[in-house]
Chain A
Amino acid sequence: MGEIAIRVENLGKRYRIGTSVARYNTLRESLSDDVRGLFRRGRRRTMEDGDGEPEDMIWALKNVSFDVKHGEVMGIIGRNGAGKSTLLKILSRITEPTEGRVEIQGLVGSLLEVGTGFHGELTGRENIYLNGAILGMKKATIDCKFDEIVAFAEIEKFIDTPIKHYSSGMYLRLAFAVAAHLEPEVLLVDEVLAVGDAGFQKRCLGKMEDVAKEGRTVLFVSHNLAAVRHLCTVAVMLSAGKVQYWGHVNEAVAHYEAQIITGSTGQGPLSVLYETKGDFTKTEFAITRLEMLDEEGRAKPSVATWDYVCFRIHYHAQHSVSEASAELSLASLEGISLLRCSTQPDSNVRMGIQPGHGIVDCVFPQWPFAAGRYLINAALALPMKAYLCRLEEPAILEVRARDVFSSGQMMPEASRSLLAIPHRWKI
């Protein structure tokens, strides 16, 4: 066994932009495409290319190379869409790379989410076995660790209750407990720690620390810079699918922070929270972009508590709708709904949609949320009836801290209080 646990060489992954818009083809489309293809001469098509033109393709990862030594805990950081998740999916063998090569020494366990394959109708006991098997554990191993898992999750009393009756906290504890007892030599972890309350996150981090101390190799993808700094010794910073920095964790985090402040990324401005490119001729309605603007209507790269912020929703429509509604919503990373604003019915503002490109603004004169990370989503809807379109995946909104109460020592932070509302004390 060499010194290197994971060797990544010139890894690249290409996606078709269209795939996210036209989720799947129908046989008819494909057949008619094939017929059309007969008349286009001299154009070879391969399986990997599908029926797309090169312009339809984007490289989610390109020329990515790095090594991870045995026992090393490596962080992978970068903005939304920098290619972190794609990298992890390739390393976990969920999807294949388009080019390049990876060599991994030892058994691999990957945690891209907690509770994969949990079934609500099954009891806690049954789900432990099912989830364990899905994660690649042997039944004998699960038998051995069963009591430990139950104790870690603190659900002894409910072990034979179907988990659809569990609270979300119990569900998460159970899910993480199973995952934490997976003992591969190489562990790949995605943002799983982003869920749960602060106490739960702390325990997860503690468990991760134990794993790291046992000399196992860990690859940890996260937005949580504090956790990355705490757990990892080295880090890779990705930007627009390329390795921007590979080395000591503090350096990597510094690079990342510098990128956030200057906005110097190859990925377009930081004010854009979400953007989808491609062909909208096949979709009836689509949100094409969600961005932040300041009072003068200029791009706003970040938002802090109590800032003025305008969220501009760009959409594309095929046909007109006389009575439509726009919606902006905010949720915690666990998915708990925090805010929902709509033109109809909440604000009773009338809105119609014309074919083509359109925009609608939602303005907050004083953004009330405390520092932290949130999930933001935008939608078009037929009021009180149905959604016309939403973001395919909610975007992450990072709210910066500001000492709005002039405490001089403590700034409002989401883990203490989600909202920072003007108030006074009288003594």
Chain B
Amino acid sequence: MAADLDIDKEPPTIVIRPSHGWASLNLHDLWRYRELIGFLAWRDIQVRYKQTALGIAWAVIQPAFTMIIFSIFFGRLAGIPSDGLPYPIFAYCALLPWQLFSQAVTESSNSLVANQNLITKVYFPRLVIPLSTIATGMVDFVIAFGMLIGMMGYYRIVPSQAVLMLPVFVLLAVAAALAVGLWLSALNVQYRDVRYTIPFLTQVWLFATPIAYPSSLVPEEWRLLYGINPMVGIVEGFRWALLGVGKAPGALLFVSTAVTMLLLGSGLSYFRRMERTFADLV
């Protein structure tokens, strides 16, 4: 209680009435519940690897195996170029943001339905739920990132100053995942069809993103159109920042960022608009 009072000196007055049209974001309320984001993420991490023999090692095993498969089939057998880098690290470096994105999208899309016991019984800003799934994904990302550092040591790749830009790309990946996750999670409350489209969606999206192949394979004149997939700019950014491949992705990155922001803005307002009906529909 004492802690509560520090923040809310005056007892707030809550007004409840039907809302119409587009709702505001109400960031103040979200800030009050910031600890809950952490607790829910922590719960998901705790629970996810309970009763597994390998535990949190799965965070590394998944991208590592994908990397091995890609190296064998695309790198060796198909002979896909890798911008002069060893194929395994070329693929793994791109798989990192991709795993963060695809996992966050998958988890957050189903998050509202999975937490319906909370939604129908307690009030809190519903944005807390998809946000916490993204926080969960970040933990896996950090662990898998550790392996990348090991691989860079093995291949003796020293990043240039470009590495300072890396947090920007991580942030963009998170923003893109949140944007797509917000849209899908809110849609999933009403239309459970969403759940069945997600495996398909992530599969297609994986190949629409330059992970197994370099974006230089895409003809120059199509490059900007290609950038409409926000993951293109982000993955290219990762390779550039960490491995020093190619040049700074300027125009491409601009398009990807713009698309991400557009998706995020529309996702947030759609989510807030649908939020009021979640408890009745879920």
Which A residues lie at the B interface, using CB under 8 A?
A: 1, 15, 19, 24-28, 30, 47-48, 89-108, 110, 112-113, 116-117, 119, 121-122, 126, 129-130, 133-141, 144, 183, 185
Q: Please, what's the 1-or-0 string for B29-52, where 1 marks a CB less than 8 Å from any CB in chain A? A: 000010110011001001100110
Q: Are A116 and B121 in touch, CB under 8 angstroms?
A: yes
Contacts of B13 in A (CB 8 A): 103-105
Q: Are A119 and B3 in touch, CB under 8 angstroms?
A: no
A278, B116: Cα distance in complex, Å: 25
**Nearest CB on B from A127, distance (A):** 9
Contacts of A48 in B (CB 8 A): 18
Given contacts A24-B189, A103-B13, A134-B124, 18 further A-B pairs with CB under 8 A are A19-B280, A19-B281, A24-B190, A26-B191, A28-B193, A95-B280, A96-B16, A101-B16, A103-B14, A112-B122, A113-B121, A116-B118, A117-B118, A121-B47, A122-B43, A133-B35, A136-B122, A139-B35
> Closest A-chain residue to B16, C-beta based?
A102
Q: Are A94 and B279 in touch, CB under 8 angstroms?
A: yes
Q: Are B123 and A110 in touch, CB under 8 angstroms?
A: yes
Q: Are A133 and B39 in touch, CB under 8 angstroms?
A: yes
Q: Are A24 and B192 in touch, CB under 8 angstroms?
A: yes
Contacts of B17 in A (CB 8 A): 97, 100-102
> Could you list some 30 contacts between A and B, CB below 8 A?
A25-B191, A26-B193, A27-B191, A30-B190, A89-B279, A90-B16, A93-B16, A94-B122, A95-B276, A95-B279, A95-B280, A96-B277, A97-B16, A97-B17, A97-B18, A101-B15, A104-B15, A117-B117, A121-B51, A130-B43, A134-B118, A135-B122, A136-B33, A137-B4, A138-B3, A139-B35, A140-B2, A141-B2, A141-B4, A185-B11
**Nearest CB on B from A280, distance (A):** 20
A119, B40: Cα distance in complex, Å: 11
Which B residues lie at the A interface, using CB under 8 A?
A: 1-4, 8, 11-19, 33, 35-36, 39-40, 43, 46-47, 50-51, 117-124, 189-193, 273, 276-277, 279-281
Contacts of A113 in B (CB 8 A): 121
Q: Specify which of B16, B17, B281 lies most central, judged by the most chain A CB atoms within 10 Å of its CB.
A: B16
Q: Are A107 and B8 in touch, CB under 8 angstroms?
A: yes
Per a CB cutoff under 8 Å, which of B12, B19, B124 touches A96?
A: B19
Q: Are A116 and B117 in touch, CB under 8 angstroms?
A: yes
A1, B191: Cα distance in complex, Å: 44
A122, B277: Cα distance in complex, Å: 30
Q: Are A130 and B39 in touch, CB under 8 angstroms?
A: yes
Q: Are A98 and B18 in touch, CB under 8 angstroms?
A: yes
Contacts of A28 in B (CB 8 A): 193
A222, B190: Cα distance in complex, Å: 32
> Closest B-chain residue to A8, C-beta based?
B16
Q: Are A107 and B4 in touch, CB under 8 angstroms?
A: yes
A299, B154: Cα distance in complex, Å: 83
> Closest B-chain residue to A190, C-beta based?
B121
> Closest A-chain residue to B191, C-beta based?
A27
**Nearest CB on A from B127, distance (A):** 14
Per a CB cutoff under 8 Å, which of A102, A122, A135 touches B47?
A: A122
Contacts of B191 in A (CB 8 A): 24-27, 30
Per a CB cutoff under 8 Å, which of A15, A93, A100, A141 touches B3?
A: A141
Q: Are B280 and A26 in touch, CB under 8 angstroms?
A: no
**Nearest CB on A from B88, distance (A):** 36
A91, B277: Cα distance in complex, Å: 15
**Nearest CB on B from A175, distance (A):** 12
**Nearest CB on B from A99, distance (A):** 6
**Nearest CB on A from B246, distance (A):** 40
Given A26-B191, A110-B123, A139-B35, decide whether A183 and B16 contact each other with a Cβ distance below 8 A: no
A89, B17: Cα distance in complex, Å: 13
Contacts of A141 in B (CB 8 A): 1-4
Q: Specify which of B11, B50, B193 lies most central, judged by the most chain A CB atoms within 10 Å of its CB.
A: B11
Contacts of A92 in B (CB 8 A): 122-123
Contacts of A110 in B (CB 8 A): 122-123
A110, B189: Cα distance in complex, Å: 24
**Nearest CB on B from A236, distance (A):** 17
Q: Are A121 and B122 in touch, CB under 8 angstroms?
A: no
A195, B219: Cα distance in complex, Å: 67
**Nearest CB on B from A24, distance (A):** 6
Q: Specify which of A89, A96, A110 lies most central, judged by the most chain B CB atoms within 10 Å of its CB.
A: A96
A96, B43: Cα distance in complex, Å: 28
Q: Are A134 and B36 in touch, CB under 8 angstroms?
A: yes
Per a CB cutoff under 8 Å, which of A24, A25, A99, A133 touches B18?
A: A99
Given A27-B193, A138-B35, A140-B3, decide whether A117 and B15 contact each other with a Cβ distance below 8 A: no
A89, B279: Cα distance in complex, Å: 9
Q: Are A1 and B11 in touch, CB under 8 angstroms?
A: yes
A117, B18: Cα distance in complex, Å: 27
Q: Are A119 and B47 in touch, CB under 8 angstroms?
A: yes
**Nearest CB on B from A358, distance (A):** 30
Contacts of B8 in A (CB 8 A): 107
Q: Are B15 and A102 in touch, CB under 8 angstroms?
A: yes
Per a CB cutoff under 8 Å, which of B2, B12, B192 touches A106?
A: B12
A15, B36: Cα distance in complex, Å: 30
A183, B12: Cα distance in complex, Å: 15
Q: Are A91 and B122 in touch, CB under 8 angstroms?
A: no
A138, B280: Cα distance in complex, Å: 28
A271, B12: Cα distance in complex, Å: 45
> Closest A-chain residue to B37, C-beta based?
A133
4 smallest beta-carbon distances between A and B, as pairs: A106-B11, A102-B16, A93-B123, A133-B39
**Nearest CB on A from B26, distance (A):** 12
Per a CB cutoff under 8 Å, which of A24, A112, A139 touches B121?
A: A112
